[in-house]
Structures are given as structure tokens and as C-alpha cells.
Amino acid sequence: MRTILKSLHYLAVALLLVCSVSGLAQTITGGVNGTVTDPAGAIIPNAKVTATNVATNVSTVSTTTSSGTYNIRNLQIGQYKVIIEASGFSAQTLGPFTLESGQDAKFDAKLGLEGSNTAIAVNESLVPLLNTENATLGATLDENAISNITLVSRNFTQLTLFVPGAVTGTPASFTGSAAIERNGNGTLASQNGNRQETNNYLLDGVEINETINNGIGYNPSPDALGQVRVISSNANAEFGNVGGGDVVALLKSGSNTFHGSAFFYLANYNMDANSWANKNFASSSAFVPKTPYTQSTFGGTVGGPIIKDKLFFFGDYEGIRYHSAGTGLASVATARMRSGDFGELLDPTQIATTVQLYNTQAAGQPAYAGNLLGAVSNPVAAYLFAHPEVYPLPNHTATVGTLIQNNYQAPTKTNRYNNQYDVKIDWKASPRDSISGRYSWGRNGDFTTPVLAITFPGANINPFQSFAFNSVHTFNARLINEFTAGFTRVVALGGLPSDSTGTFGLNGNAVVGISGVAQPYNGFILQSFTGTNGAFSSVGNSATGTTYYDNTFSYYDNLTYQAGQHTIKLGVQFLRYQQNTFYPGNDGAVGRYLYSGAFSAQNGTVGGYTLADFYQNHILTRAIGGVTGLAGQRSWRDAAFVQDDWKVSPRLTLNLGLRWEYDQPILEVNNKQANINFATKTVQLAGVNGASRGLYNPVWTNFMPRIGFSFNPSPRVVVRGGYGITTYFEGTGANLRLNFNYPFQNGFTATGFAPSTTSAGQFYTTAQGFGTANTSCNIQTSTVPCTTTIRAWDQAIKPMFLQQYSLTAEYQLSNTASLTFGYVGETGQHLITAGAANALPKPCIIGGVVQTVLTSAQCIAADPAPFINLVGQTGSVVFTASNAMENYNALQATFRQRLSKGLEFTANYAYAKAMTNSTGFFGAQGINGQSAYAQNFYDNHSEYGPAAQDVRHNINGHLTYELPVGRGRMFGTNMNRAIDEVIGGWKVAMTTIVYTGFPVNINSGSNNSNTANNSQRANHYRKLNVVNRSAQAWFGTDPSVLHQRSSTTAGAQCSAAGVDDGVCAYGQPAAGTFGTASVDSERAPGYQSADASIFKDFAITEAHKISFRADAANVFNITSLGNPTNNAQSATFGQITASRSQARQLQLSAKYSF
């Protein structure tokens, strides 16, 4: 066995030497180093240095070099002691001490002469706290901190918030469904101003990312974690494939004694406070009750020896069950409407604003007398109205003045679940070989019982598997090789519609009278109601759920060599991504019909009612997504690195590294991809007519130097600085991939137009289904468009290029406390953007009038769209490019108190500014910031402004304190044992997060730029004068705000587009122009919250205990207000209707440990 292992390692080393370059592995171990001298300070070469893991008794041996230095690498994290021996000198014992991942613990030893004294046991006061070896910035949470920190709902990614510069716009979401199922993009922390999707998550050195959307695929149980390390800046050259922070999580390992636990956590709505939104009413009688729910979390851990001092195991299981039930509301057609009688809309006692219906298909567009429409024309409406058992009649009083809003109520249920486990083996195969392996499995999901069964709710299922293998071979005291291999499979089976009625199934379309339209899922075509009048609840389901199978294969090999004062590490990395996706788009695999009310409104604008259009079978938009099955995309992401940590002197270390990465263009296994050649404005098909399979150019020049220094002028002070470059190819989600293009994903969209004074408009009927797709259209040669939407990538697209730099100092205040402070900066280029490439460069102006109908013959002749030949005049070319930038500058400080006298805490502060000219395709969840699309595709420079993560002051931290009450403590030293069991030994823990205000982008009331773009900001005329600020008027009650809220003040109220009335701060831009407001020009409220815990261990025997604990999220029930309405023309401009903070939530638990 030993021979085989040695052969494999020699083969790996040979590969490295042949390549003559170096690569990456993600460090999951630590090391110790130092200098050994005699009493006179002379170096001692060839001294024996033994590092021993206290828990497993596994030892690693090295010797000092000719310069008296030693450096032991690749040590498993845990408690260690170091013994230093040399002929003629007394042995010295250092420790025990805690070794963390990525840590290089420095221990210099001065050996006494043999016989002059006994071996020295170094106590805590001699253990240095400072990082004197590199310039890497970040934070580490060990097993003790993880177990004590308050984690309501037990989402381990919440730990990434407690780092200087970490920001999230949705802090409350970390305790929601993301803790049970899978973290979405809204529950990821931004590190140092970077996009929150650019983090890299690793478990035992292997990626656990969901690679299509740049999310995280797995939440390991906090009880299974031995350490979580967040590297936020200036990582060594071995770290890459990241734009934000590296989040390195390590599972616990077994030891020479059996240890384990069994736990149960309970959360219930009866223990929680009600939310601010539920109570934000003038009268308590209008308060909305809490939604009933119960959540239970249960599981356990076990670890121990298989063969003492040699082979160890660890395993854990966690299950979560969430049940929520209550009464939900919906808006359904009244009994009179179902018979064609819409006369209720004319009764001012029932509806605040009466609605007259018009026959827009008759000459003169006459009004319907009494709003009587006659016989029903829509077969779907006819079926539903005739079957109240599936489309029930109102049973609840509608919201006053609305007639139909919330006029039906019924029980609802939501169920979420999770099951997962991990198994880990550690084996000291020989004195020179250490091997570990880990397997993780998980399955979570949800299903609901809706108010209306015929919404056919989708059930989500999320399986997960991951395997990690790590092998460390020591050739000699100077040469060590580490090999890591891994596999991660992240699956999402999203939104599979279910039919609880048993009536519709896969024949639902035929049942409701839509013939000839096949369907792959249960239910029937979504019937949606979107318009000014008639906000009815949609019925049917378009089936938009995404299915994906993400496979990531990881192969790393590192070689570490110590040559005098140099510790040289080099390695290679190979990542293989397999992404199999089924994405039917926003229109779904079943499709949708949209009713706007325009066809019962005079001239399409006056009156009108969505249900009237539904009744009369007047569809504005019919659309269905591509349903061609899974697409299989593949790519390699390879890297090589070399890192030299040069001990120039005992006080100065230089870190010199170089990294290189290659991102293979994404291929589709059957070449089912299409792109646009922007030079020729033609479509390229993968592998056809000389086109490459990836359809964009590879980048071979991703060279990333990493330079750092650490200067230790005195034992209590260290100054560190660094500069480095990292690259990262951002994911764009399935929606922007080149495989989602005609002819491979052939969706169908048809949108009519509303009636006008000169036209009856154009509508569709259910009998038309979705029309016939252009399957025979040759998109490369056709002279007419084959589709209305194309996803295109810049052929010169590049990975994100991020430069990081810092200068910090750390001061050891005491034997247990240190303070770090300094400057941290970043600047990034080539960030991914999404753009509307078919937008007109300028509006169509005929006879001095800006045209609103861009498809007229005059507009097409005067201002043809750039890609009119491919998608038509108003079609969409969603262009993915890498033309955005960002920068971040901050003063950051961290105070860390290691455990002493029962107290342990960390406090972080950042004074920062983050700027960018693009928020990215995913945007920033929870923040009303700039659009993912520039308002002017041809002027991205005007998008420059505060990033969504721009929080000027940011404070976060965590604390654990053992109360000094009880036997042997400060208070109650001689307390009775029985009383001590009750009141002694309690611990408290607390976390806190404080942000100043988030950015707010002020948008126009409606997009009247008339260039077929995707966004428009408001005009900014003058600064808001904020007085009498409140939740109802966050921007105050000054005329500069109220004057533009057209429903509250008489006069112009800036309603004239582009006209400054001398009062308003913001207004609607003039037709054919873009808003003058800068990006994110205003600020939302800040955020403050504190979570807390109280807990105590009760001893059963010396080795067995049971713990009781209470956790509270937002323990003080602080209301941190959410985002104000940012539509400058809205009557509710500046109004806040939700909170960013959650209501106080309690969690009780019991844990048995042995």
C-alpha cells in the first residue's frame, strides 16, 4: 500500500515539474514555523521538531534547517503541542494551542543547555496572537465560536456576515427558507463591495457552489463544522476562482475518544413577535395576525477512533421540518360578473372609482349599457364560472372600495423539509502519509396548499451529493505533496406543478376548452390579469420552474518545498463543470395568456377591466417558453500557481506569488448554441461554417501576481501589506446562456396592441393557442426575423479582473486580545453586464414629434433598430458583455478578544465607499438600487454611482460570556451545589449588525424614452429637502416631495414630462430622453439588529452533559425600515410599507453531548 501511495505522489510531482508551472489547491490545513536558538541566540540546525495533534495523538516530525528554522505544513486543524529537541540541549514543549485553517503559527524556541533545567512547558502567555507570516485578510470562526454564536434557523452562511466589510441587503432572510432549503442570491454576503454572487464556497477544500447562478449548493449543519474561514482580500496565490470572498468550511474530525451529540431545536409562531408590516395600521383592529408555523430541527453527531492513533471517523445527520398553516386571501369574480353583468363597477357604494366598459370592437367604441356584456366568449371563463368547485365564489368581504380585492379566503399550508448527512474518515496511513475522505448527501424541498387549488402550485426538490478526498505525503522534512479530488452534484427540480383537484392533470387545456395545445405538466395555461383595473388572482400555471443538474469535478495537487528561508508552494488545479439545464424562460413550459383590460377601455385608456377582457376572450399577450428538454453545457477552469514565502529576516516575511488561470469557453455537448456576430450582424451557430463551439474567444492571459509583506518590528506589533490580482468568470444564470436561443430553444411570444381613436387594436383568442413556431426558418439566411429574442455574448468577453490592495497593522493588547486596523482597497474591471443591444441609439422623431409606435413604416425607415434583421424593430437582443467596473475603499478595524475569564468576542468596523457602473445581472436583493440594465445601452458611463453594497458605516460582531455566578466563580463562590445547578454556569451570547442607509435609485413613473430600452431613471431637478421624515414619508413632507405626488396636491405636480415647475425634486423625463438623476441618488433607512442566546450545560456524569438553550433573532425587536417607494411619479413616493428586519423570533433547544 505504501509503495502504491508513494508511486502516485511521485507521478503527481513529475507532472508538476514537467509543466514547469504551479497551480491551486484550497488550503484546509495549517502549519507551525519558527527559529530554534541556544541560550546565546546562536541558531541550532538539525533540531528535531514534533507537532502532535492532542485529540488524535498523530505526530508530524521535521528538523530545523542550516539557518535554524523549521516549517511544518499540512497539519489538520485542532489542538496541538510542539516538542523541540536537540543534542546537548533540554527539550522544550510548546502549547497546547489551537491551530486554524490557513494559519502559520509562529513559535521561536530558545533551548537551555542539557541538565541546566527541565523541559519548558510554554503557557498561554507565550503563545503569539499576531499573524506575522502573510498579508491575507479575513476572519476565522472555530468550533467553540460556531457552537456558541446565535444562529436562529442554523444557517452557517450567516457566519460570513461577521467580517469587516461584509454587507447584505436582506439580513433577515438568513433565518428563513434559505436555512432549510438552499441559499438563493439574496442570502449571500457581499465582501468588500463585491457582488454577492462572486464568493467561492468550499467544504473540506472542494467547491460546493451552484455554478449556474453563483449560489451555494449545501448548508452543512453547524454542529458538524470544526471551522469556518472567510478570506476577504489578498489571498495567497493558491486561492483563485473568486471575485468576492473565499468561504472555507471544514467538517470536524474524529479523535482517540468517542464524542457525539443529539439535538432538538424548536421554533413556533407563539414565541415570536408580530411583524411591523402586520401592525403598520392606524387602528389595532386592522392588525394582521401572525402566520402560524412550527419548525423543528433535529439530529446528532458522532466521532471517534476506528484504530487508535491511526484511523478515525466522524458523522452527522440533520433533519428540518417546517409547517405553516393559516388563512389566505384571493380575488375572484363575483357572481354577477360570471353571468356577464359588470354593473357593480358602476356602483360608487361598492367601488371607489367606478369603471365604465366599452365595446372597442364596434364603430365609435360605444359604452356597454349597464356594463352588461352578454354571453361569455372565452371557453376558459365559461368552464371556470360553471364549476365553482374549482373556481369558488367570493366568501369574504372585499377590501373597502375595491369590490373584488381579497374577496375569497381559504386555508393555506406550506411545508418545507430537509434531510442531510456527512461522513468523514481520517487515516494516518503511515508516518509519511495522511489520508482523509468525506461524503455529504442532502435532499430538501417544499410544497404548498394554495388558496386557489387551480393555481397548481409547484413543488421544489433539491438533491445534493459531494465527495472529497485528500492525501498528504511527506517525502522528507523539506518536501511535501498534497493531492485533493472532489465531486459535487447540485440538483434543482423546480416548480413542478401539482393538481390537487384531480380534474385537470396533463389534459387541463382540453378540459377548459383550449384544444390542440399539448402540455408537459399538470394544470392549464396561466390566465393572468395585469392592468390598472381588476387585480384578479391569476389561475393556471405557466410552469416556469428551472431544472438543473450541476456537476463539478475538482482535481488539485500542491507541492511544498522548504529551501533555507524560502517556503515554496506550487500546484495545479483542474475544475470540470457539467451544467445540464432545462429553463423554459419567464413564459413557462405550459405558457400564459395575459389580459390587460385594454380591450374594454375606450381608446385603450379610459375605463376597461381585466376580467371583462377575460370574459370576452380578448388576450393582449400569449407566450410560451422553449420546451426542448435539457441542454448540456461543459467547460474546464484550469489554473497553476507558485508561491514563495520568503523569511528575509526574523522580523520580515515577503509573500511572492504568481497565479495563472484559463477559462474554457462554455460548450454544449450537441452544439446547441447560437450567438450574434456584431460585426456582420448575423447569427453564428456553434461548430457551423467555421464558428467555434463556444462562440466566444478564450482568454489565455489571466496572470495574477500576488505580493505581500509582514513586518514584525516588536513582539506586540506587526505591519502587513499586500497587492494581488484575481480573476473570476461570473455566472449569468440560465436565462442569458447561448443555448437558450432559436432554433434550439424556440419560445413563442405574440403581443397585440390596445385600441386607439383610429384602431380597434389587436387581440388574440384562446382558439389561436400559441401559433406555429418558426421551426423551418433558417436564422442564418432568412431575410425576416425568425424570433423576437436572442441572447448574445460579446465574443471578446473576459473574466472579472479584480485588483486588491491593503495596508494594515495589528497590535497585541494583552495575552488574549489584539486590535487590527488599516486600509483596504479594490478596483475591478471586466464585470459582467446585461444590456438591451437592440435599443434604438436615439428615439424616432417624425415631424418634431417623438414617436411611441416604433414599428411604424416611418420609424423603421428613419431609425431602424440595430438588429432589426434578426429580431425585428422592437425585438430583444440581451447582450452579455464584460464592460463594467467597480471600486472599493475602506478603513477597517477588528478587535478580537480570545477566550479569557469566560469572555470571547470579536468586533468589526468598516468606514467604506463602494462604487460601480453596473449592479450585475442578478441585481442586489433587498435593495432598490440601479437596474441591471443601463437606461442608455450606448452610455454605460452614466451608470456610475454608489454600488448597492455601498454602506458608509458598517459594524458587526459576536460575543460569548460565561456569567461569573456560581461555585468557584466571582459571585457565589461557595454556593450550595443544588442552587448552583440552577443559577450557576450560565452563558450568554450575542451578535449584532449595524448598517447606515442603503442606496435608493429614483425611477421614472413610466419609461417614455421610446428607444425600446429596459429602464429609465427620473429627472433630478434639485435636492430633496427632508423634513418630518417618517415611514409614511421617508423623503419628508416638504413641497419638493409632495408637489410631485399628483394625488395629494393640486396643480402641475411635475406631471408635465420634462418640465421643472421650480418645486419638485424629481420628475418624469421628457419623451425621448433619459432621466438626469444619477444612479442611487437617495438613501433608504439603515439597519440595526441584535441576536442573543442564553444557555447552560448540566453535567450528568463527567463525560456526559445536557444543554438547554434559548436563541432570539432580533432580541430587542428593533424595527429597521425597508425600502421607500422609488417611483418618482407614484402617489406613494417615499412611503415604506415593509421592514428590513424580521420580528423577534425565538428558538428553544436541548442537546445531549458525550
CA distance 252 to 264: 20
Give the residue from 324, 350, 331 showing the smallest Cα distance to 396.
Answer: 331
Compute the average pLDDT of residues 851-861. 90
Give the residue from 640, 478, 661 showing the smallest Cα distance to 557.
Answer: 640
pLDDT band at 159 (very low <50, low <70, confident <90, very high): very high
What is the β-pairing status of strands 30-37 and 104-106? parallel
396 residue type, one letter: H
Q: Tens of pLDDT along 707-729?
A: 999 999 998 999 999 999 999 99
Most confident by average pLDDT, 139-153, 369-383, 578-592, 808-822: 369-383
Residue 355 CB burial class (10 angstroms; 0-12, 13-18, ≥19): buried
- Taking CA atoms, 202 is separated from 236, 426, 743, 859, in Å, by 16, 18, 37, 54
Give the residue from 507, 382, 498 showing the smallest Cα distance to 450.
Answer: 498
Residues forming beta bridges with residue 48, ordered by sequence position: 63, 85
Cβ atoms of 347 and 459 closer than 8 Å: no
Compute the average pLDDT of residues 914-930. 90
Compute the average pLDDT of residues 1085-1111. 94
pLDDT at 15 over 80: no
Q: Tens of pLDDT along 325-338?
A: 988 999 999 999 99
pLDDT band at 115 (very low <50, low <70, confident <90, very high): low
pLDDT band at 27 (very low <50, low <70, confident <90, very high): low
> Would residue 669 be called left, alpha or beta, if left means φ above 0 and alpha means ψ between -120 and 50 degrees?
alpha
Residues forming beta bridges with residue 547, ordered by sequence position: 493, 582
Cβ atoms of 615 and 340 closer than 8 Å: yes
Please tell me the pTM assigned to this model.
0.87
CA distance 350 to 794: 55
Q: Tens of pLDDT along 863-900?
A: 999 999 999 999 899 999 999 999 999 999 999 998 88
pLDDT band at 121 (very low <50, low <70, confident <90, very high): very low
Cβ atoms of 995 and 953 closer than 8 Å: yes
The cell for 225 is: 463544522
CA distance 156 to 222: 6
The cell for 799 is: 473574466
- ∠ CA 101-104-110, nearest 5°, is 145
Cβ atoms of 497 and 458 closer than 8 Å: yes
Give the residue from 802, 851, 867, 864 showing the smallest Cα distance to 831.
Answer: 802
Cβ atoms of 780 and 682 closer than 8 Å: yes
Cβ atoms of 854 and 1012 closer than 8 Å: yes
Of the CA atoms within 13 Å of residue 498, those in its CB half-sphere come to 12
Predicted confidence at residue 940, as pLDDT, reads: 93
Compute the average pLDDT of residues 6-29. 42
Compute the average pLDDT of residues 905-911. 96
| Max CA separation in the chain (angstroms) | 116
Compute the average pLDDT of residues 2-23. 38
Predicted confidence at residue 21, as pLDDT, reads: 32
Mean pLDDT of the residues in the chain: 89
Predicted confidence at residue 773, as pLDDT, reads: 52
What is the β-pairing status of strands 789-793 and 876-900? parallel
283: helix, strand or coil: coil
Instruction: Note if the bond before 743 is cis, omega within 30 degrees.
Output: yes
Q: Tens of pLDDT along 251-307?
A: 999 999 999 999 999 999 999 999 998 888 878 888 888 889 999 999 999 999 999
Residues forming beta bridges with residue 59, ordered by sequence position: 52
CA distance 128 to 105: 8
CA distance 518 to 201: 41
Q: Tens of pLDDT along 769-820?
A: 886 555 568 888 888 888 888 999 999 999 999 999 999 999 999 888 999 9
Q: How crowded is residue 743: how many other Cβ atoms within 10 Å of its Cβ?
A: 21
- Comparing 668 with 899, the larger pLDDT belongs to 668
Predicted confidence at residue 774, as pLDDT, reads: 54
Cβ atoms of 227 and 250 closer than 8 Å: yes
Give, rounded to a whole angstrom, the gap between the first and last alpha carbons of the chain.
Answer: 35
Compute the average pLDDT of residues 391-412. 94
Residue 7 CB burial class (10 angstroms; 0-12, 13-18, ≥19): exposed
Predicted confidence at residue 10, as pLDDT, reads: 40
CA distance 189 to 167: 6
Compute the average pLDDT of residues 530-559. 92
- CATH pick for 2-133 out of 1.10.730.10, 3.30.470.20, 3.50.50.60, 2.60.40.1120: 2.60.40.1120
pLDDT at 1152 over 50: yes
pLDDT band at 127 (very low <50, low <70, confident <90, very high): low
Flag the least confident range among 63-77, 146-160, 375-389, 495-509.
63-77
Task: Tell me, rounded to whole angstroms, the distance of Cα 1130 from its chain centroid.
Answer: 30
- Comparing 173 with 508, the larger pLDDT belongs to 508
799-831 core/surface letters (b: 16 or more CB in 10 A; e: else): bbbbbbbbebebbbeeebbbebebebbbebebb
pLDDT at 435 over 50: yes
- ∠ CA 859-864-865, nearest 5°, is 120
Percent of the chain whose predicted confidence (pLDDT) is above 70: 94
Predicted confidence at residue 797, as pLDDT, reads: 96
1009 residue type, one letter: S
The cell for 1134 is: 417615499
Predicted confidence at residue 9, as pLDDT, reads: 41
Q: Tens of pLDDT along 563-579?
A: 888 999 999 999 999 99
CA distance 325 to 465: 31
Instruction: Please tell me what DSSP assigns to residue 372.
Output: B
Most confident by average pLDDT, 78-92, 732-746, 1114-1128: 1114-1128
CA distance 1147 to 1138: 24
CA distance 582 to 547: 5
Of the CA atoms within 13 Å of residue 1065, those in its CB half-sphere come to 23
DSSP H/E element including 859: helix 857-862
DSSP H/E element including 411: strand 408-430
* Domain boundaries along the sequence of the chain: 2-133
Who's near 664: CB < 8 A, 6+ residues apart?
A: 635, 636, 637, 638, 694, 698
Q: Tens of pLDDT along 447-466?
A: 999 999 999 998 999 999 99
Cβ atoms of 558 and 25 closer than 8 Å: yes
Who's near 268: CB < 8 A, 6+ residues apart?
A: 293, 294, 295
1073-1093 core/surface letters (b: 16 or more CB in 10 A; e: else): bbbebbbbbbbbbbbbbbbbb
Backbone dihedral angles phi then psi of residue 287, each to the nearest 5 degrees: -60, 140
Compute the average pLDDT of residues 1023-1037. 92
Residue 1141 CB burial class (10 angstroms; 0-12, 13-18, ≥19): buried
Q: Which residue is listed with cell 527539550?
A: 91
Instruction: Note if the bond before 1124 is cis, omega within 30 degrees.
Output: no
Predicted confidence at residue 72, as pLDDT, reads: 86
CA distance 610 to 595: 6
Percent of the chain whose predicted confidence (pLDDT) is above 90: 66
Q: How crowded is residue 338: how many other Cβ atoms within 10 Å of its Cβ?
A: 20
680 residue type, one letter: T
Q: Tens of pLDDT along 211-235?
A: 988 889 999 999 999 999 999 988 8
756: helix, strand or coil: coil
Backbone dihedral angles phi then psi of residue 32, each to the nearest 5 degrees: -130, 145
pLDDT band at 1029 (very low <50, low <70, confident <90, very high): very high
131-169 core/surface letters (b: 16 or more CB in 10 A; e: else): bbbbbbbbbbbbbebbbbbbbbbbbbbbbbbbbbbbbbb
107 residue type, one letter: F
- ∠ CA 952-956-959, nearest 5°, is 165
1059: helix, strand or coil: coil
pLDDT at 6 over 50: no
Q: How crowded is residue 476: how many other Cβ atoms within 10 Å of its Cβ?
A: 11
Q: Tens of pLDDT along 609-624?
A: 999 999 999 999 999 9
pLDDT at 18 over 50: no
